[in-house]
Amino acid sequence: MAGLEDLYREIILDHYRTPRNRGELDAPAVSAEGHNPLCGDEIRIFVDVRDGIVTDVRFNGSGCSISQSSASMMTSAIKGKPVAQVKAIVKKFKSMMTVDEDESPVDESLNLGDLEALQGVVKFPVRIKCATLGWNTLLDALTAAGQ
Amino acid sequence: MSLDVAAIRKDFPVLHRLVNDKPLVYLDSANTSQKPQAVIDALSNFMSHGYAPINRSAYQLAAEATDLFEGTRSALAKFINAPKAHEVIFTKNATEALNLVILSWGRANLNAGDTVLLTHMEHHANIVPWHMLVAERGIQLRWIPLTHDGQLDLSNLDSLLQDVKVFSFTAMSNVLGTINPVQQLCAAAHKAGALAIVDACQSVPHQPTDVQAWGADFVAFSSHKMCGPSGVGVLWGRESLLEALPPFLGGGNMIADVRLDGFTTAELPAKFEAGTPAIAEVIALGAAVKYLDGLGMANIRRHEIELSTYVLNSLTERFGNDITIHGPTNPELRGATFSFAFRGIHPHDLSQVLDQANVCVRAGHHCAKPLMRILGANATARASFYLYNTQQEADMLADALDSASDIF
């Protein structure tokens, strides 16, 4: 049986206790809302995309330590990056979570940094949806931004 | 007579399973209950030695299967004190039972501007079908609010019932544990000229049920919460109302005649039982009814009042303000289902930590999102006890809760 130490790594709990980029962004930034219908977790991701670059990103909502810390780490990982690279990071993360749906290759050279700490979530399959909630919502927000 | 819980536990094989070398503490019976050996045997015996279609073949095997199937219907009628067995309709679950009565009765009787009264503590199964009628028919929904301790606020019941066509409510909240005064609510509905529909999913497994004493018009509940198999729900309705109710699903078994230009419906109960039902599961539900009857529903209720008293006292003594238990504090007014918030730890994280001690609880919105919003949470943890649970298991829950604070 997988132990809780695989799930609740210190870096995860740190992002849960002290979330980065929590808040909202005003227009022209756009946002998207995500729900986990199984547990009621809610999240809203705000993105400001200028000249193909995610210049700012924020999130708010409420949820468990995994959904909140994953969203926090995600915002840190993508802020200031070109949209194409952001999408590659999303793809790599979803691949790590075993829920990458399309066939295109994952960019193995990308370094997920702190996000690697979430790898343990895979051992708790029910929680994968918690970890990916913010990421799927980010994709919706990018779509709303015309990306 | 008090329950011999040690003997009861022997009847439930899964309770003896060790998970990771530790005993299982199953506190999720409001979600779905475990099954006694008698139910497992009934299912297995029928599948092994008696499986056949019902209602449509002359051979002995089919006749025996039909008798067993109808035996459950008769046993259930007695169990809930229904006047007639053919008033008991089998569906695939309680959600379908509620959809049957809400959509079928609603489409035949409700028009734009008609008002339906619900409560803030309903399960989605008693909300969403009504929302569908709002979209389809333009009906209006009105809601009974809650008191601070999670009971229905009935102070304005008569005015809320004014011009209401249907009052549909839960007999016991799956989140708060609150037991509602069903008899009083049905009487108030009828005085206002409204139909009374009762969602009895949480109450039928846990206390004696008398649909005639309730004075209800329709009552829905499920097999899987009362020690029976999943895949079976029950709708009871007054004979005259069921006779007048249009059919819900069309197909085999529910017709008297089918022509190129139309059909006529079968008599009750077949009229509402289109297609092949869950034959084996219904038969095994009969064994569950017999099992519960043998123990006595009043005894089960008393056991759960004792357990509730213990759970409420021990958790509040041990954790004080660190724990918020929703719903009534008086064990006589509630079932042994406890939704709670603990030390600000998210319910999902809490249930994950409890799982390390094999303590099985539900974390989430419990299919009652409107109520969650009123409670100011998007989820709660819920521990729900049943006839096989013990005070010792309540202590194991408390120990496991304490260990969660080490992480968060």
CATH, residue B112:
3.40.640.10
- Give the Cα separation of B141 and A117 in Å (integer): 47
Among the residue ranges A97-106, B174-183, B215-224, the one predicted with the least confidence is A97-106
Q: Are B370 and B116 in contact (CB under 8 A)?
A: no
Same-domain check for residues B107 and B61: yes
What is the per-residue pLDDT for B29?
Answer: 98
Among B275, B294, B313, the domain-final residue is B294
**CB–CB of A42 and B378 under 8 A?**
yes
**CB–CB of A65 and B353 under 8 A?**
no
Residue B210 in any domain: the answer is: yes
**Average pLDDT over all residues of chain B:** 97
What is the per-residue pLDDT for A102?
Answer: 81
**CB–CB of B379 and A127 under 8 A?**
no
Query: What's the average model confidence in pLDDT over B146-171?
Result: 98
Same-domain check for residues B322 and B183: no
Residue A81 has pLDDT above 70, yes or no: yes
How many structural domains does chain B have?
A: 2
Comparing alpha-carbon positions, the chain A residue that sits nearest to B347 is A64
Whether cis (ω within 30° of 0) applies to the bond prior to B145 is: no
For the whole prediction, is pTM greater than 0.90? yes
- Domain residues for the domain of B328 are 5-29+296-404
Residue B35 in any domain: the answer is: no
ipTM value: 0.88
Quote the Cα angle for B49-B54-B57, to 5°.
Answer: 95
Q: For the beta carbon of residue A95, count every other beta carbon within 10 angstroms.
A: 15
In angstroms, the separation between the Cα of residue A38 and the nearest Cα of chain B is 7
- Give the Cα separation of B304 and A20 in Å (integer): 46
Q: Tokens in use for B9?
A: 């536990």
Q: What is the DSSP pairing of strand A41-50 with strand A53-62? A: antiparallel
User: Which residues does chain B have within 8 Å of residue A42's beta carbon, measured at their own beta carbons?
Assistant: 378
Residues of B with CB under 8 A from a CB of A: 20, 346-349, 352-353, 356, 363-365, 369, 372, 378-379, 407-408
- Give the Cα separation of B267 and B254 in Å (integer): 8
- Band (B72; pLDDT cuts 50, 70, 90): very high
Same-domain check for residues B272 and B400: no
Helix axes A128-144, A83-96, angle to 10 degrees: 160
Comparing alpha-carbon positions, the chain B residue that sits nearest to A38 is B364
Same-domain check for residues B111 and B231: yes
Comparing alpha-carbon positions, the chain A residue that sits nearest to B381 is A39
User: Which residues does chain B have within 8 Å of residue A39's beta carbon, measured at their own beta carbons?
Assistant: 347-348, 363-365, 379
- Band (A82; pLDDT cuts 50, 70, 90): very high
Residue B113 in any domain: the answer is: yes
- Give the Cα separation of B25 and B15 in Å (integer): 8
Residue A38 has pLDDT above 80, yes or no: no
Active site residue B367: yes
Same-domain check for residues B227 and B241: yes
Q: Are B177 and B146 in contact (CB under 8 A)?
A: no
Percent of chain B scoring above 90 in pLDDT: 96
Same-domain check for residues B252 and B324: no
Same-domain check for residues B60 and B198: yes
Tell me, what CATH number does B319's domain have? 3.90.1150.10
What is the per-residue pLDDT for A104?
Answer: 87
User: Which residues does chain A have within 8 Å of residue B372's beta carbon, measured at their own beta carbons?
Assistant: 40
Q: Where are the alpha helices (DSSP H) in B80-196?
A: 94-109, 128-137, 157-160, 182-191
Residue B36 in any domain: the answer is: no
Quote the Cα angle for B166-B171-B174, to 5°.
Answer: 115
Residue A1 has pLDDT above 70, yes or no: no
User: Which residues does chain B have within 8 Å of residue A8's beta carbon, measured at their own beta carbons?
Assistant: 349, 407
Of A3, A38, A127, the CB nearest to B364: A38
Same-domain check for residues B306 and B289: no
Same-domain check for residues B97 and B111: yes
**CB–CB of A1 and B379 under 8 A?**
no
**CB–CB of A13 and B20 under 8 A?**
no
Among B294, B311, B342, the domain-final residue is B294
Query: What's the average model confidence in pLDDT over B279-301?
Result: 98
pLDDT tens for each residue of B254-268: 999 999 999 999 999
Domains of chain A: 4-144 (3.90.1010.10)
pLDDT tens for each residue of B396-406: 999 999 998 88
Helix axes A65-78, A10-17, angle to 10 degrees: 90
Q: What DSSP string describes A52-112?
A: TEEEEEEEEEE--HHHHHHHHHHHHHHTT-BHHHHHHHHHHHHHHTT---S-SPP-TT---
Query: What's the average model confidence in pLDDT over B227-237?
Result: 98
Same-domain check for residues B250 and B281: yes
Q: Which of B186, B201, B227, B367 is catalytic?
A: B367
What is the per-residue pLDDT for B406?
Answer: 84
Give the CA radius of gyration of chain B: 22
Neighbouring residues of B207: CB distance < 8 A, sequence distance ≥ 6:
B179, B297, B298, B300, B301, B304, B335
Residue B293 has pLDDT above 70, yes or no: yes
Residue B297 has pLDDT above 70, yes or no: yes
**CB–CB of B348 and A4 under 8 A?**
no
Of A3, A13, A39, the CB nearest to B348: A39
Long-range contacts of B54-58 (CB under 8 A, 24+ apart): B54/B277, B54/B279, B55/B253, B55/B270, B56/B253
What is the per-residue pLDDT for A105?
Answer: 87
Same-domain check for residues B287 and B302: no
Residue B253 in any domain: the answer is: yes
Same-domain check for residues B116 and B217: yes
Residue B359 in any domain: the answer is: yes
Of B353, B363, B407, the CB nearest to A39: B363
A45 pairs with which residues across the strands? A32, A59
Of A4, A42, A63, the CB nearest to B353: A4
Among B294, B324, B355, the domain-final residue is B294
In angstroms, the separation between the Cα of residue B80 and the nearest Cα of chain A is 33
Residue B285 in any domain: the answer is: yes
- Band (B407; pLDDT cuts 50, 70, 90): confident
Residue A25 has pLDDT above 70, yes or no: yes
Of B346, B364, B379, the CB nearest to A65: B346
**CB–CB of A127 and B353 under 8 A?**
no
Residue B34 in any domain: the answer is: no
Residue A2 has pLDDT above 80, yes or no: no
- Give the Cα separation of B359 and B399 in Å (integer): 10
- Give the Cα separation of A133 and A94 in Å (integer): 11
